[in-house]
Each structure stands twice: as structure tokens, then as C-alpha cells.
Amino acid sequence: MEETAKPEKVLPLPRPGERNILVTSALPYVNNVPHLGNIIGSALSADVFARFWRGRGGNVLFVGGTDEFGTTTSLRAREEGVTPQELCDKYYKIHKEVYEWFNISFDIFGRTNNSVHIPLAHDIFRELWGKGVINSWDTEQLWCEKCEGFVFDRLVEGTCPECGYEKARGDQCADCDWVLDGTQLLDPRCKIHGEKPVTRQSRHLFLDLDNHGPCVERMVEEKGGDWLVNAMNMNGNATMGITREGLNWGTPVPEWLAEFEGKSFYPWWDALLGYISITASGMGDWTAWWRPSKHLVNRNDDDDDDDTRSSCKSDNTATKPDVDVQLYQFLGPDNIFFHGVLFPATLLPLDPPYTAPHHIASTRYLTYRGGKFSKSLGVGVFGDNAQETGLSADVFRFYLLESRPENLQNTEFTWDRLIKVNNELLVGKIGYLIRRVLVEVNGVVPHRCRHTSGPTLSSVEQMIAGFKKGAHRLLRQYVNELEEAKLRGGLMTTLELARGGIALLDLASNKVMSTNRSERQAVLELEINLVYLLARMLEPYIPDTVKSLYKVLRVGRPVGRFEEDWFVRDQGPIEPGHEVGKWEEVEGLFERIMPEKAKMWELQFGGRKKRDGEVLMSGEAKRQKD
């Protein structure tokens, strides 16, 4: 078994008195190649956020990996004629290579199938059991006569009782994202034999959500968020089953609970603990991030007479962290309930508590030809497909982030639009502005005469003053958007600033660029500083491109707060007399894509439209499925 690679660099530890940012990317199933929907929904979005905070000098730990336990893994292993372990080893490597190509800057990239995971899951379970927030009772489960056993959730299909979707799974509806139990399905059927299962009694373990739901709500209210309310509305259950039958590749229930022999933890619950175990397998002092509490304070006993086993209180004391760790989790919409309710409901009863989510950043879906990307059906564009196009990772990053479905609406992936976004925005706006400025500056930022003619400003100076005022507002807006994980919003703000820079150049060119040397120099000094600032703003989005921009600007990679006030000062970060490179040094980073490529890539990659319930796939997509 491949363990999480021990990092060569020294990983950061939380620092007292500072805002310490713990970033996680949702753990995708290991059983296939990640598609672009997976990438923008979690890994790429989390990467932009982590890079933004690092660029401002923030203390960040960015954790990701693969979810390796569960029925999906064992079934895929059976299809490929290998063991589950062999399958995990194969696809873990593929996932890692895809994320490296996309330049995802994980501090730790691991896997739930590590030597730490099962002991850690058992320890957390034992603590929850001791707190009295886990109950057990008999419940009806689906039994397939032909399978001669209980049918696991994902092997049951039926009609969703919430939305009527006819191919809902026994754990969650893929159409409306409702979290359910297989027995709730209408007209359930075993996906292996197609038979309608019967129900049988079986004893299972349940985590109490109802009693510590108010505590979780209070926590989120204190943090100013509203994701928990949305997550609870998606489920409405007072308890959540955390054990399952028939799972032969997962985390078993501890042996000291003998009556549950043969049962395993529910993979969705178990996978949440993977964030912690992956961190623990990648760094020694993992508790500094996940369990930072080190001293006790008095607990508020106002509700001691309330006869509930609430996670909001322990018997007498609670542990207060001496460092502030804020957990930001990036995930798709089908994961909101598990991260927004189940995860904090697991962590908050523990004393000292684990770090619970501070902010959940979820997108809607990136769709393909009107439907969801699907690894199991081979529908969509996959990470290795992106590499085979010959485009750079930054082109895909820019397009996916410009199309990020963050405003409660799905967005559609099309090759035509990828080309349009590249040609009109990345090349046509960002590249165009950089080219014009570098050509005009021609190697050295010009000196200029300061305005000394009295209170009356020339028309160009008025334009510069007006631009600086608007740019200052946009920069503050950008910072606010990135801090709130509104990543597409931040990119749109950056593009708006670039458009403003182009407009200023156009106006100045019409007025003075060829006639008034002093005012021309003032415009160029402003514009070269704008290029530098745009590079800083774009660094989280297109890091390789920006690395080259820093080189052509002859500046080192800046770290620390943005120059948020330079627009209201007379002098920018790049001063007159500073030497810069030529446009030819970065011209290759901003290349137009021929529109006819869209049809070629559409035929070459990804699933095609469904016909009579069957997915027609290109050869490449079919090979991925097979």
C-alpha cells in the first residue's frame, strides 16, 4: 500500500495570535480519472483560495487526497480483475498526476487507505460512544434474495420520494441531492440482479443529529454563515446511520462492539475523517491543526437542567483553543449535508473538540451537454483529456474559474466557450493590455515631471485620478471576494480592472501619447504598475503565467498584503527608471486557439448525448469507462 508521501518541505504549524487557514478539497472516489467537474468543484477552487492567502502572507495548510473505501472501489476492482488495493494504488497515482498537471498546490495529498485512518476512526468513534451521542436500534434494511445478503446503498436504485427521479441511489438522489435511505426509495431494485429487494431487520449504529443540531447552528451563527441551515434543510433527519451491511472494503466497527461484527462504518461518514487521517499521515504534529485546544476554561452552565445529551456542553469544562484555526472546505453540492451537518455533528461533541468547519464553499454543477459529468458513465471531459489537448493548464484553470458555478446556477462546459474565453478574455483583455504596455514602455519605466502648475489638473491627470479612484474600489472588492471564497467574482473584478486599464490607454492615446511627453510618461508609469497589480491578482488563478510575468517585470514574487493604497499615493510599487523585459518574453503564454479545434476536441473527448437511456461515447471516453 502506498502511504501518503512524506513532504520534503517543512509544513506550517498554527501560530498564536494569527488567523490560521486550514483548507480541504473534497476527497473524490479513487475508482476513476477525475473529471473537470470534480476539479473545479473542489481541488481547483481550494487551490485558488489557498494561493490567495499564501500570497498575502497567511499561514495556510492545504489538504487533499482520494477516498478509497467503499462499494464503488470493490466493484470497480472486480470489473478490472484486480484487488481493491491494486485498484487504489493505480488510481491514486492517476489522481496525483492529474492534480499536479493542473498545478494544484496541496501541502499534503494523501489517501484514506493509510495506516493511520482505521485506528483514528476507531478512537473518534470510542469518544463519541463515551459521550452518549451514538445509539443503536433495529432497523429495516433491504435484502436481495438472489444476492443472499443485505444490499449496500449504492447497489439499490429506485424512484426518489422527494423529486420523482427514477434512478436515485439508495444513499442519495443524483438529481435533487436529497440524502436518503434505501428503504425510502419507491420501487427499489437491486442493480446487480434487477430484482425488488425485501426488508429484514438488522441492528445498526446512529449518530444523534437532533440534540447537537442547535449547537452546530449556534456555531455557524457566531461565524456569520448560513450554510448549515441550507444543509439541514436538505436532510431533516434527527439521526444518521453510520454503519452499513455488506461492505467488504472499508473501516470495520471496532471489535469491542461484538454484536456489530461484520458491519462497517458508512463510507460517507468514514471519508470525512479522512481529512484528519490524511493530515496525520503527512505530518507529525497534526493535532496542532485539527485539535488545537490546550487549556481549559469554565463552561457556560446556563442549560445544565436541560436533559439532553447536547454537543454544546460537557459535564463541567470545555477546552478553549489558544490558536485560531479556521477550516475552509471546498466541495460540490451533493456533499453539503455531509460536511455541513454530519462532520460538525461528529467533531463538536468531543472534548477537547476537533476543528469544525468555519466556511463551506460549494458550487453548483458544471454540466456537459445538459447533464452532469459522470465518471461511471464516461460522460464529460476528464483530467487526462485536458492534458492531451496540448493546451496549458493555465488555459483550463482560467476557463474553469471564469465558468465556476458559484451563484446557485449550473454552468455548461463547451469547447466553443473555452476557446471564446481564452481568445476574448485571457488573450484579448489580459494579454492585450500587457502587450500594449510593454511595447510602449520599451524596456525602462519612464521618468516624469511631477505636476507643479497649481490646483488645476490637465485632462489626462483627471483621467488618471478618476482611474485610480475606481481601481482602488475594485481592488478592495477583489480582496473581499477572495476572502469570502467568491472566486469567480474575484476573477470578474480583475477583468474589469484590466478593461479599465485598456480604456485609459485608449483615451490617453487619443489625447497625448504622441504629443505630451510628461503626460505620456505618467500614463505609462501607472499602466506598468497596473500590470504588476494584475499579476498579483491573477496569481491564484494562472500561477505559471504570472510567474513568467514577474520575470518580464523584473520583480521577485511578492508576499504580503496587496498594495491596497498605492492608487491613492503618488508613487506605485514599480518606480521610474525600473527596467522591464520585452513582450516577446511572454507572448507565447497568450496564444489564440483556432475555433475549428472545438469540433475536433468534442469528437475526441467526453461522453456524447444519451439515446434510449444509453450513453454513446467516443473511443477515448469508452476506454476510460472500460
Q: What is the DSSP string of 10-70?
A: PPP---TTSEEEEEEE---BSSS--BHHHIIIIIHHHHHHHHHHHHTT-EEEEEEEEB--S
Which residues sit opposite 252 in a β-bridge? 264
Q: Which fold has domain 129-213+222-244?
A: Methionyl-trna Synthetase; domain 2 (2.170.220)
Pairing of strands 108-111, 243-244: unpaired
Q: At what angle do helices 274-282 and 117-131 cross, to 10 degrees?
A: 130
Residues of the chain with CATH 2.170.220.10: 129-213+222-244
So what's the pLDDT on residue 515?
67
Instruction: Identify the CATH assignment for 415-589 out of 1.10.1840.10, 2.60.40.10, 1.10.645.10, 1.10.730.10.
Output: 1.10.730.10
pLDDT over 60 at 622, yes or no: no
Q: How many percent of the chain have pLDDT more than 70?
A: 81
Q: Across residues 279-292, what is the average pLDDT?
A: 94
Q: How many percent of the chain have pLDDT more than 90?
A: 51
CA-angle at 215, arms to 211 and 218, nearest 5°: 145
So what's the pLDDT on residue 190?
80
Look up residue 207 and give its amino acid: L
Choose from 147-156, 362-371, 478-487 the range with maximum mean pLDDT.
Answer: 478-487
Residues of the chain with CATH 1.10.730.10: 415-589
The string of pLDDT tens digits covering residues 337-374 is 889 888 988 998 898 889 989 999 988 888 888 777 77
The pTM of the full predicted model, rounded to 2 decimals, is 0.86
Cell output for 488: 469567480
Minimum mean pLDDT among 207-221, 363-377, 439-453: which range? Answer: 207-221
Confidence grade of residue 211 (pLDDT, cut at 50, 70, 90): low
**Nearest CA-CA partner of 602 in 423, 420, 415, 421:** 415
Q: Output the 3-class SS for 431-473.
A: HHHHHHHHHHHCCECCCCCCCCCCCCCCHHHHHHHHHHHHHHH
Q: How far apart are CA 207 and CA 531, in angstroms?
A: 53
Look up residue 221 and give its amino acid: E
The string of pLDDT tens digits covering residues 398-425 is 999 999 998 778 899 999 999 999 999 9
